[in-house]
Amino acid sequence: MAEEKDEMKGLMKTESGRRLTQILTDDYMNLHGKASGGAFVVWVAIIVPIELFKGFDNVVFAVPESHAALSAAKGVGMLQCEKAEHSGYSMDICSYARIDIGTAMSGGKDSPTFGLPRPNLLVSDNNNCSLLVKWFDVYHREWGVPHFILDVPFCYEMQKETDLKYIVVLDFNINRVISKERSD
């Protein structure tokens, strides 16, 4: 197994680690490139099924939670948290949210991926962490971007037909917004 020392951190990076770094870098650069080329950008929470959007051409997805984790792994998490805190966000909120908010509010400065391209639509869910909806709502208020909340009924027993119908109505509304935004 080939290894290479990262002089800045004194860490050994394997060939697999270098390959993974290249895959992630390529993926984020592809995301930025498509967004710059006019793609419709949707920021989704990590559990939101992107299959909701598969019928549309030229739609790309960004996952703020994943970007926050990558930023923390690359050593800039604390710096991004401090930016959010200086903007008035409490140090008591989730570090993923603070990293992401700090990155977004500084235009991607200090991010290992230049941040995320600004979204055209935000889609979060309420069956993940309790902060997630509020976190995405920050961007809704700050940038005026539509925010849909995937409101999934909690099922403690076998899912009922009414539960599925409830979710299908949300899917219809999300698709209506994408179609309207793209036609404007």
Bridge partners, residue 121, by sequence: 42
Residue with tokens 């109505």: 169
Alpha-carbon dihedral sign for residues 126, 127, 128, 131? positive
pLDDT value, residue 62: 94
Q: Please report which residue ranges of 50-160 form alpha helices under DSSP H.
A: 64-73, 77-86, 95-105, 132-143
pLDDT value, residue 170: 61
Q: Mean pLDDT, the chain, as a whole number?
A: 86
Question: DSSP character for 92?
Answer: T
Residue spans of the chain under pLDDT 50:
1-4
Cα separation, 27 vs 57, whole angstroms: 18
Bridge partners, residue 61, by sequence: 42
pTM of the entire predicted model = 0.80
Of 45, 26, 36, 54, the closest CA to residue 118 belongs to 36
Question: DSSP character for 125?
Answer: E
Cα separation, 138 vs 100, whole angstroms: 11
Cα separation, 74 vs 55, whole angstroms: 35
The SS3 of residue 83 is helix
Residue 89 sits at φ, ψ, to 5 deg, of -85, 135
Write out the two tokens for 72: 């923390």
pLDDT value, residue 1: 39
Q: Cβ(39)–Cβ(59) under 8 Å?
A: yes
pLDDT value, residue 179: 67
pLDDT value, residue 59: 93
Q: Cβ(71)–Cβ(65) under 8 Å?
A: no
